[in-house]
Amino acid sequence: MKKSIQIGLLGLGTVGTGVARMLMENMEILVARVGVPLKLKYIADIDLERDRGLQLDEFLLTSNAFEVVDDPEVDIVVEMIGGEGIARTLILKALENGKQVVTANKALLAKHGNQLFKNAMDNGADLAYEASVGGCMPIIKTLRESLVGNRIQSMTGILNGTCNYILSKITDEGIEFDAALAKAKANGYAEADPTLDVEGFDTAHKLAILTSLGYGMEINFDDIYIEGISKITPLDIAFAGQFGYRIKLLAITKAGDNTVEARVHPAMIPFDNLLSNVNSTLNAITVTADAVGDILLYGHGAGMMPTASAVIGDIVDIARNLLMNANGRVPLMSYQMDHVKQVPVTPIRDITTHYYFRFFAQDKPGVLSTISGVLGQHGISIKSVNQKGRKTEGSVPVVMLSHLAKEEDVQNALAEIRVLDVVSRAPMLIRIEDDNYEE
């Protein structure tokens, strides 16, 4: 049996630093749980001068990450660089060299995961990625291991801490989106490119990974519908509150007969939905499955130590497998590779749900009936209407909640309403996710 497991860490950014810290500070407990020491042999980063509050001199430091993936003594390569460029090249090289790999790289997996998992399988290697979705929440393990006896029916998640922080700030302080984003940046929450967060791409990367695991399908990022939160206003959040809803950026996936829904967009959810009370940078996900009903995971979806915790969990899984000559024991995508299928994603135009519409309309007789008339012509029936304030000039916000409607009909109706003389500004549409919605 091996006397130790040798680790090569690529990238000493926030999460990489957390991984190194946890390996050092919790060494004793890790030895007790694994049976042999997890030895951090290398740390590779282009900047090894910056003070990270770590005692680094006991490790081999290098700015050449290829030295790490080419070292025959390294058992596990931990890729904490991120992005789709050099990180991908290094993972492929590590797999080719027979290394086990741990990554937190959601963008890379969402776009190139099918190929990377195939490469890992062909090389008999484990490629672990718990930290790619939901930080410390063990959602990958839950899907790959704990719930394997279930048919997954749906998943609904708050998977981006930056967006959840921004929406919480707008809700609590009534500030505009730009001001809330500035606070998120000042606190260091957003990705280097905050568009990834606020326009929903980061959430969609994570959803692409989860749909694959849940339904045994190839990762299909390109077909996920993605809409971010940058158009959400304090006014919409206030209206949502009047109807008993909070607005959250949700990742939603539902199993159909031969298709799955996979969409990312802001949604109104009732106050009594547990997700509605997940605030600030926290993440949560509800999984609904045939045997268990609903389960909820909740925790820090980002940050140094919570994310490092997920990475260390993966390292330990792999180390235990290596010690038992059992790597590859858990299929990388939950399903055995020859059972992973291509499953089409339902186009957004084909979904049906309930809708919140907000128009800015002239306050004069007949305007409401003109708008609801267009909606009616497209088969959309209105459940309630709320007009705020009275104005003899200019426009007032008019809000409508629909009965169940088809997205395609909604989009066609809004295209007609947008160009009406009585309406100023583009209409706002927010989907409502409420299992107890009264028709």
Query: Which residues are catalytically annotated?
Result: 206
- Binding flag, residue 157, ligand HSE (CB under 6 A): no
Inter-residue long-range contacts of 375-379, CB under 8 Å, 24+ positions, other chains counted = 375/400, 375/402, 375/413, 375/417, 377/413, 378/409, 378/410, 378/412, 378/413, 378/416, 379/405, 379/406, 379/409
- Site for ligand HSE (CB under 6 A): which residue of 67, 71, 191, 218? 191
Joined together, the tokens standing for residue 25 give 């500070």
Stretch that binds ligand HSE, among 91-99, 159-167, 171-179, 418-426 (CB under 6 A): 159-167
* Shortest Cβ 56–ligand HSE spacing (Å): 25
Nearest to residue 30, comparing CAs of 375, 312, 267? 312
Joined together, the tokens standing for residue 384 give 């309630």
- Site for ligand HSE (CB under 6 A): which residue of 6, 100, 119, 160? 160
Alpha helices in 73-160 (DSSP H): 86-96, 106-122, 139-141
Stretch that binds ligand HSE, among 15-23, 77-85, 160-168, 221-229 (CB under 6 A): 160-168
| Smaller CB separation from ligand HSE, 106 or 254 | 106
Q: Contacts with ligand HSE in 410-429 (CB under 6 A)?
A: none
**Which of left, alpha, beta for 124 (phi over 0: left; psi -120 to 50: alpha)?**
left
* Shortest Cβ 196–ligand HSE spacing (Å): 7
What's CA 13's distance to the chain center, in Å?
A: 20
| Smaller CB separation from ligand HSE, 119 or 307 | 307
- Binding flag, residue 201, ligand HSE (CB under 6 A): no
- Binding flag, residue 301, ligand HSE (CB under 6 A): yes
Question: Beta strands 100-103 and 76-79: pairing type?
Answer: parallel
Kind and range of the H or E run holding 270: strand 260-270
- Binding flag, residue 189, ligand HSE (CB under 6 A): yes
* Shortest Cβ 44–ligand HSE spacing (Å): 22
β-bridge mates for residue 61, sequence order: 43
- Binding flag, residue 306, ligand HSE (CB under 6 A): no
Inter-residue long-range contacts of 27-33, CB under 8 Å, 24+ positions, other chains counted = 30/312, 30/316, 33/316
- Binding flag, residue 161, ligand HSE (CB under 6 A): yes
* Shortest Cβ 230–ligand HSE spacing (Å): 15
| Smaller CB separation from ligand HSE, 5 or 232 | 232
* Shortest Cβ 159–ligand HSE spacing (Å): 7
Alpha helices in 324-360 (DSSP H): none
| Smaller CB separation from ligand HSE, 190 or 410 | 190
Q: Give how many residues touch ligand HSE by CB under 6 A.
A: 9
Q: Which residue has the tokens 């997890």?
A: 38
* Shortest Cβ 180–ligand HSE spacing (Å): 13
* Shortest Cβ 48–ligand HSE spacing (Å): 24
Contact letters (x/-) for ligand HSE, 250-289, by CB under 6 A?
Answer: ----------------------------------------
CA-to-CA dists, residue 185 to 163, 189, 204, 306, 370, angstroms:
11, 6, 21, 19, 43
Secondary structure (DSSP) of 407-435: HHHHHHHHHHHHT-TTEEEEEEEEEE--T
| Smaller CB separation from ligand HSE, 104 or 322 | 104
| Smaller CB separation from ligand HSE, 137 or 287 | 137
- CA atoms lying within 13 Å on the CB side of residue 248: 30
- Binding flag, residue 162, ligand HSE (CB under 6 A): yes
| Smaller CB separation from ligand HSE, 16 or 427 | 16
- CB atoms closer than 10 angstroms to residue 230: 16
- Binding flag, residue 197, ligand HSE (CB under 6 A): yes
* Shortest Cβ 162–ligand HSE spacing (Å): 3
Stretch that binds ligand HSE, among 51-59, 62-70, 189-197, 257-265 (CB under 6 A): 189-197
β-bridge mates for residue 378, sequence order: none
Please tell me the distance from the alpha carbon of residue 102 to that of residue 120, in angstroms, as a whole number.
Answer: 11
Angle between helices 367-377 and 407-418 (to 10 degrees): 140
Binding site for ligand HSE (CB under 6 A): 160-162, 189, 191, 197, 202, 301-302
